[in-house]
Structure 1
Amino acid sequence: MADTAPFDRSGSLVEHLNIAPSGSGPLDGTTFTVKDNIDVAGHKTSYGSPAWRDAHPAPRHNALCVDQMLAAGARCVGKAVADEFTYSLDGESQFFGTPRNAKAPDRIPGGSSSGSAASVANGLADFSICTDSGGSIRVPASLCGLWGIRPSLHRISEAGVLPFMPSVSTVGLLAARFDHLEAATRVALRSRPNKKAPLKRLLVLSEAMEIADETVREQATSKLGKIADRTGLSPEPILLSQLLGEDIPLSDCNTRALRNLQTAEFQNTVGSWIETNRPGLGFTFSMAYGNVQSFDRIAALDSIMRCEQLFELINAALTPGIVICFPTTPVIAPLKGSLSTLDAVMDFYDRTMTITAFAGVGRLPEISAPLLTVDGCPVGLSFAAGHYQDEFLLAAVHEMVG
């Protein structure tokens, strides 16, 4: 279980820290945690696996993104629990426990940035540095009622971040408040002051709305109406095939592109170490890893081509001034322990990744905003823009939701 202090019942931290800022700047007075696949000097990085932690020395240097936050005035207060090898979206760890979802304590926090989300949602930190590949920032942001950003692929330095799925994974942030998310993101992006780009169109990804639970869809539609009143922009429903000008369903982003690419890359980055060292594996991860072991790598070659095709088509369509919106997740957080059958797991993962894979293959910046509430539980509403339009997206979301 996580080594947590008596005052912390969130189960969100592997280790409590108190690392003072190294400088002063826009993050003065704020605190942050670090997902435990990101290096903090002198402290072992577990990667969500005790076997990995015990087999590797403590890093000599902070990850560069950690140094950026410290230099900008923030204080690091802990290393946050992550799902095993960060290969999950549920946040239930056999080794470190399930961090507490502050907004829905009987439900999962989402993963793999489970401890990052819980540390922020439970008030231990203002923001957390974490990573996202198939939804590992956006899903816990949605299920825990937080702001979360997956920036454009590789906009933030990954030096000192353990390798996962290089063509998809990126560093991002979770925060309880938008101003903290924006300030920390701009530090990480190395943003310079820039002229505010005009928000011209608000598209709504129809297929993402259709696969969401009816209650989520109703809440999203209601919120979009309020955004229209605020901005004067009428939300424009659009199918992916209409956006791209080709007959490509949204599900292709996951099943014919991202999923296979992720699996093949995981074989290289982590699978070889697992096969060589034969560490103890958690039950849930072992089931997922079985798919990795049996995967036909040649099948991934077509998926690499598909990812590149989708990247080009999506970004040709998302020209400056356009934001596209959709529910971050199609459901509220499942109850703890409810993902215990294959049918339950497949429903949660397939529907969720159908949505999250869109920004993954597009290499898009996406912000999950805590704007929806269904049956007393939070759900995120996501906004995405074209590749490398991160600063525009931050400004646009501020204009739309304040």
Structure 2
Amino acid sequence: MIATSSHDLSGSIVTSLNLAPTAQGRLDGLTFTVKDNIDIAEHRTSYGSPAWRASHLPPVENALCVDQLLAAGARCVGKVVADEFTYSLDGESQFFGTPRNAKAPDRIPGGSSSGSASSVGHALANFSICTDSGGSTRVPASLCGLWGMRPSLHRISEAGVLPFMPSVSTVGIIADSLSHLDSSMRVLLRSGSGQAHPIKRLLVLADALAVADNVVQEHAIKALETLSRRTGIPVQTVSFSEISDDAYQLKDCNLEALRDMQTLEFQNTVGNWIETTKPDLGFTFSMAYGNVQSFNRQKALESIVHCERLFELINAYLTPGTVICFPTTPVIAPMKGSLNTMDAVTDFYDRTMTITAFSGVGRLPEISAPLLSINGCPVGLSFAAAHYQDEFLLSAVHHLLA
């Protein structure tokens, strides 16, 4: 195991830093951490893998997104743990240790941005810059009771971010408050405060509720009813069959589209390096990578067509002024070490990615808000809007939750 800072009770810090702001701006006085698949000049990037870190030279420049934050007045205080090759949603790392879930210490933090959530949850930083493909920002934000946002695909520069799955991966933010999420995200989006547009429709995705545990469903419905009463905005229920004109079910966003697209691209971005380098691999990742190795690329090419069709259908339905809501994750954080059987892993991943793949294939901005608490464990309630409606979504969530 690679040692982290002796002063880091969260177990999230890979490298302690003190990178001063390069200018003043809207992030003056705020601190941030950086997921260890994002470059910091003169520091090797691990990608959650000691073998990757050892075989790659330190970058000369910061990732562009890091420079944006420094130039807006924020201070970088460290690089934080990422799941191995960021190919996980649980946050348990064989090599770097499992970062501590501040709100539920005996439970997993969620991944692959586990260190980002842990560092923010333990108040080591106001926010953390991380990444999201199948839910790697939203899942740890949900399970650790924090604010998290996946922006529209490619709204934020990925220069200096290690390759993963280009067709679905984004840079994201996990933050300790909506205010800090908003200010840091607007810097990365290169947007001003903008004019707030009215919310015309507030929807709840019935299929996402249906795959969640009963207690998560109940708490989500109560939270939305309270929100509706307070704002006077009615909540309408919609099924995915209505969104897709009966062409797809919600689970198809994962099973027929995002999952295969991820695997196809991972074979190119990381698989080739693994096959030629033969690095030491963690046990959990080795099991997942076995699926990559046995994958039939030709049969899976249809997933590219499905991804595009789902993108078109989802965004045609989410007309301007529409916000759609659903539980970020279908469960509270599982206990540490409990995802130790194939049944447990399959249940957690299949149900979670049934929900997270919706914004993935839709290329939607999505914000996970820490609104639900079940037996003392947090669960996020997500709000999403149409592709490239990031600023509208940020303003809408302020309006709904103010």
TM-score (normalizing by structure 1):
0.99
Q: Distance in 2 between matches of 1:306 and 1:293?
A: 22
2:171 is equivalent to residue 181 of structure 1:
no
Residue identity over aligned pairs, in percent, reads 71
> 1:108 maps to what in 2?
108
Q: Are the equivalent residues in 2 in contact too, given 1:2–1:15 (CA < 8 A)?
A: no
> 1:54 maps to what in 2?
54
> 1:127 maps to what in 2?
127
The farther-off stretch of 227-236 and 307-316 is: 227-236
Q: Distance in 2 between matches of 1:289 and 1:397?
A: 38
Matches within 5 A, 1:1-400: 1-400=1-400
Q: List per-residue Cα deviations over 1:327-377 (Å, max 9, x = no partner).
A: 000000000000000000000000000000000000000000000001110
Q: Distance in 2 between matches of 1:300 and 1:324?
A: 30
Please report how far the alpha carbon of residue 226 of structure 1 lies from its aligned counterpart in structure 2 after TM superposition.
Answer: 1.1
Partner of 1:220: helix, strand, or coil? helix
Q: Are the equivalent residues in 2 in contact too, given 1:101–1:118 (CA < 8 A)?
A: yes
Amino acid at match of 1:90: D
The farther-off stretch of 191-200 and 258-267 is: 191-200
Q: List per-residue Cα deviations over 1:8-48 (Å, max 9, x = no partner).
A: 21100111100000000000000000000000001000000
Cα-Cα RMSD: 0.8
Please report how far the alpha carbon of residue 229 of structure 1 lies from its aligned counterpart in structure 2 after TM superposition.
Answer: 1.2
The number of aligned residues is: 402
Partner of 2:77: helix, strand, or coil? strand
Q: Distance in 2 between matches of 1:86 and 1:289?
A: 12
TM-score (normalizing by structure 2):
0.99
Q: Distance in 1 between matches of 2:346 and 2:226?
A: 34
Partner of 1:109: helix, strand, or coil? coil
Q: Are the equivalent residues in 1 in contact too, given 2:5–2:14 (CA < 8 A)?
A: no
Return 5+ residue gaps in structure 1 as ranges: none
Amino acid at match of 2:180: H
Q: Distance in 2 between matches of 1:370 and 1:82?
A: 22
Please report how far the alpha carbon of residue 194 of structure 1 lies from its aligned counterpart in structure 2 after TM superposition.
Answer: 2.0
Please report how far the alpha carbon of residue 3 of structure 1 lies from its aligned counterpart in structure 2 after TM superposition.
Answer: 3.4
Q: Are the equivalent residues in 2 in contact too, given 1:2–1:11 (CA < 8 A)?
A: no
Q: Distance in 2 between matches of 1:125 and 1:107?
A: 21
Q: Are the equivalent residues in 1 in contact too, given 2:24–2:72 (CA < 8 A)?
A: yes
Q: List per-residue Cα deviations over 1:161-188 (Å, max 9, x = no partner).
A: 0010000000010001110000000000
2:401 is equivalent to residue 401 of structure 1:
yes
Q: Distance in 2 between matches of 1:79 and 1:327?
A: 29
Return 5+ residue gaps in structure 2 as ranges: none
Please report how far the alpha carbon of residue 2 of structure 1 lies from its aligned counterpart in structure 2 after TM superposition.
Answer: 4.7
Partner of 2:367: helix, strand, or coil? strand
Partner of 2:183: helix, strand, or coil? helix
